[in-house]
Amino acid sequence: MTTVSLLAALALGACTNAKDVLEPSAITPPASSAQSSAAPQGKSTTATTSTTTAPAPSPAPSTTASPAPSRTPAQTAALAKTRLQVAPIVGASVDVAAPLTAELQTRAKQRGLTLVGSTDQTATHVLKGYFSTMSEGKDTTVIYVWDIYDPSGNRLHRINGQQKAPSVGSSEGWSAVAPATMQAIADQTIDQFAAWLGSGGAG
């Protein structure tokens, strides 16, 4: 009897263990633990791969940098097709805006851009500028924002910045702004516009 009861107890114990093993909840943890234990190996392998691959990009910049000249013809074509119309400047006096608009024309020619008049219907882009000044001791800072629109009036891009220079005389505001300051802004504006256009003119 003692042997039979011991055998029965062992059989019941085996059945209980079998049920535990056959339970989905019992199967899942070992599987996940097996995966998790395997995962670090996979990660370590990936980490090793990324580490060994990491030095590889170092020659890549040289190969990536070389195709840059091949983009130049496309950029040149994009610039050549552009007909830029400059809207009246907002915020700056006519006298101060004069050297700005003159330099915009000069710089645009250097960049291969064509500026058109306000009545020209062939404009591909419209440039609207908003200007203000801020005096700081002996310096005057010109703050500018340019919005670029398509002919339908949709804004495509924004250029903004500021140019700080010594004030002219003891005056403040626009009378303290030298023509060279406005010319520098014109150069930066055309350069940034050309760079944006050359990159595809998106955003």
Predicted local confidence at residue 29, as pLDDT = 42
SS3 of residue 17 by DSSP: helix
What CATH number does the domain containing 97 carry? 3.90.950.10
Q: Which of 81, 199, 83, 191 is nearest to 146 (CA)?
A: 191
Encode 91-121: b = buried (16+ Cβ within 10 Å), e = exposed.
bbeeebbebbbebbeebbeebebbbbeeeee
Query: Which amino acid is located at 16 in the chain?
Result: T
pLDDT in tens, 89-130: 999 999 999 999 999 999 999 999 999 998 999 999 999 999
Residues 6 or more apart whose CB falls under 8 angstroms from that of 35 comprise: none
Residues 6 or more apart whose CB falls under 8 angstroms from that of 196 comprise: 148, 157, 159
Whether 32 and 82 share a structural domain? no
Whether 105 and 142 share a structural domain? yes
- DSSP single-letter state for residue 174: G
Whether 42 and 78 share a structural domain? no
* Residue 157 maps to a domain: yes
Q: At what angle do helices 94-110 and 179-198 cross, to 10 degrees?
A: 40
Q: Is residue 162 within 8 Å of 143, Cβ to Cβ?
A: yes
Whether 100 and 35 share a structural domain? no
Predicted local confidence at residue 203, as pLDDT = 56
Question: Is 14's pLDDT higher than 90?
Answer: no
Task: Tell me the mean pLDDT in the region 174-193.
Answer: 96
Predicted local confidence at residue 169, as pLDDT = 83
* Residue 166 maps to a domain: yes
Tokens 């339970």 belong to residue: 23
Whether 152 and 102 share a structural domain? yes
* Residue 191 maps to a domain: yes
Predicted local confidence at residue 202, as pLDDT = 57
Whether 152 and 101 share a structural domain? yes
pTM of the model: 0.63
Range of the domain at 8: 2-46
pLDDT in tens, 50-89: 333 333 333 333 333 333 333 468 778 888 899 999 999 9
Output the DSSP codes for 20-62: HHHSHHHHHHHHHHHHHHHHHHHHHHHHHHHHHHTTTTTTHHH
Number of domains into which the chain is organized:
2
Percent with pLDDT over 90 in the chain:
53
| Average pLDDT over the chain, rounded to an integer | 74
Predicted local confidence at residue 72, as pLDDT = 67
